[in-house]
Amino acid sequence: MAERICVARIGAAHGVRGEVKLWSFTEDPAAVAAYGPLETEDGKQRFKIEAMRPAKDHFVVRIAGVGDRDAAERLRNLELYIPRARLPKIDDQDTYYHADLIGLDVVTPEGVRIGTVHALHNFGAGDIIEIMPVGSGEPLMLPFNDATVPSVDLEAKQIVLVQPVEIEMRDE
């Protein structure tokens, strides 16, 4: 399991006073401000959110020590992490941190390996699992739900995938 978890990404500067756009990856997007200082992946830089307000699909954030547009622009596309220990403990066996699923083997119900979990996305209609197939080929993008992924075994480092039946379309 990852020692650091990516919880946000800084976007473009917002205005001229050093504010930035921020996309939160936490279940409650506003909770990102409550996790304490956010860090770069290597932990060498720390950022404290001084103020945060919601915008259309992101937040506008003022970060301590960032006072002008140039300083804000230097942070563009920076991913922000927290140590795993700061995350709430998960008590529900059917709930996972996305970071814990990345890299798991994907197998059929019969145990045949078909790929690796590459990413999880949510475009507004539920979680989508992105799987890189064994060998080569286009990634598979499927719903991350109980019907498609009936089993996740973090200890075995694998998930079971039931591929949806393809529906043949024909003119009648």
**pLDDT score for 160:** 94
Which segments of 51-124 does DSSP mark as H helices, in order?
Answer: 69-73, 98-101
Which segments of the chain does DSSP mark as H helices, in order?
Answer: 69-73, 98-101
**pLDDT score for 87:** 81
DSSP letters, 96-108, are --HHHHTT-EEE-
* Each residue's pLDDT tens digit, 114-138: 999 998 887 767 788 999 999 878 8
3-state class percentages of the chain: helix first, strand second, coil last, to nearest 5: 10, 40, 50
**pLDDT score for 59:** 95
**pLDDT score for 21:** 96
Q: Which two tokens stand for residue 54?
A: 């919601």
Whole-model pTM: value is 0.71
- Cα 156-83-36 angle, rounded to 5 deg: 145
Other beta carbons within 10 angstroms of residue 9's beta carbon come to 16
* pLDDT tens-digit profile, the chain (172 residues): 568 888 899 999 999 999 999 999 888 889 899 988 999 988 899 999 999 999 988 999 999 999 999 999 999 999 999 988 888 787 777 777 888 888 999 999 999 999 999 988 877 677 889 999 998 788 989 999 889 999 998 889 999 999 876 545 555 5
**pLDDT score for 167:** 47
Report the Cα 70 to chain-centroid distance in Å. Answer: 28
Residue ranges of domains in the chain, CATH in brackets: 4-86 (2.40.30.60), 98-160 (2.30.30.240)
**pLDDT score for 51:** 95
**pLDDT score for 92:** 73
